[in-house]
Amino acid sequence: MALRGVSVLELAGLAPAPFCGMVLADFGAQVVRVDRPRVRVDPSTLARGKRSLVVDLKQPRGAAVLRRLCARADVVLEPFRHGVMEKLQLGPEILQRENPKLIYARLSGFGQSGRFSRVAGHDINYLALSGVLSKIGRSGENPYAPLNLLADFAGGGLICALGIMLALFERTHSGRGQVIDASMVEGTAYLGSFLWKSLGLWSQPRGQNLLDGGAPFYATYRTADGGFMAVGAIEPQFYELLIKGLGLKPDELPHQMSTTDWPEMKKKFADVFAKKTKAEWCQIFDGTDACVTPVLTFEEVTHHGHNQDRGSFITDREQGVIPRPAPLLSNTPAIPSSKRDPFVGEHTEEVLQEFGFSEEEINQLKSDKIIESNKPRANL
């Protein structure tokens, strides 16, 4: 796979960093999650393809263990607020002095500098500070966050993975690692570059513009059986096919871009969609360029013909249903692990041995409660 041979140490965290580590693992990196002691369950649920090592970083000897691991690793990924790693004597100045090739990825909500760098936050806070949240929501209602996807996973985990890829590529020229300051606020704002460069599209209040739910031809509609259809017929030729599929007469309708008529048109479209089931609308629109598609539930996605054609979702005995890692590379595609997620501390001894720790050192660290090893019990 593309990242075969790349060694990554991921310090345990929630959501963005585990996702970043999982992406790297899916594409072949050897990812070791460094877990905290006295934790029995991984709360991230994004451990596919990783191994788990438990070490107490709050103890000086535990921090020394991680420094020794980082001396032989390619990437260390940490999800803490500014100053936490420095307090543990594990900041980039120390680790890169011992391993100049180390790529030190810092994934945080507000970044490593600025007045908010040391305060707590979650996806909705980062989304708010990026400016993007102000554009999301229905007319006359409060802004709302689209789950915790934009800041945590897109502006955070995925942007950080991109930064790691760029740093790995640059290292092939310079031979040196670098520090990646991945701020979820800035990552989300960067994702929103189109919004900043197309302000004319957002001149009306939130929820009354072309692409934010204001247009009747860019919205979702409930069907007779309680399902939903998504409509994105922006271009005139696609809009014409939408009107045809709905059974409406173009000469009896206002012009597509008559914004004053949009609210009434949305009501008309809603009335029409409510007369047929989702399956019936699929029969009408599938294979056309009307840009009308069913809103699939998690239970439906694996059964949709297009997704089956491409193998877009994988059903695995251990992992259940998972989206196939994207993008699809022709020569070195990702091969997600089919193994169960690791138990916390399952690979502590194995990893330490690989990084040059002797059996005597490992036993002493266990005895002194610097590390924990939690191997699964064999089935009787």
Catalytic positions, please?
122, 152
Residue ranges in 175-310 assigned as alpha helix (H): 184-191, 193-197, 236-246, 262-273, 278-285, 305-310
Bridge partners for 229 per DSSP: 221, 294
Range 202-225 burial, b when 16+ CB lie within 10 A, else e? beeebbbbbebbbbbbbbebebee
Q: What's the N-to-C CA distance of the chain in angstroms?
A: 36
* Separation of alpha carbons 115 and 195, rounded Å: 26
Q: Dihedral of CA 19/21/23/26: which sign?
A: negative
DSSP state at residue 16: H
* Separation of alpha carbons 207 and 135, rounded Å: 8
Give which of 53, 54, 49 is closest to 29, Cα–Cα: 49
Beginning with the edge strand found earlier in the chain, give each strand of the sheet holding 75-78 in spatial order: 179-183, 103-108, 75-78, 7-11, 30-35, 50-55, 371-372
Range 261-294 burial, b when 16+ CB lie within 10 A, else e? ebeebbeebeeebeebebeebbebbeeeebbbbb
Show the tokens assigned to 50. Answer: 């990783």
Phi, psi torsion values for 311, nearest 5 degrees:
65, 40
DSSP state at residue 153: I
Q: Give the burial class of 322: count Cβ atoms within 10 A of its Cβ; 0-12 exposed, 13-18 middle, 19 or more buried.
A: middle
Cα 130–Cα 119–Cα 79 angle in degrees, nearest 5: 80
Alpha-carbon dihedral of residues 262, 268, 269, 272, nearest 10 degrees?
180
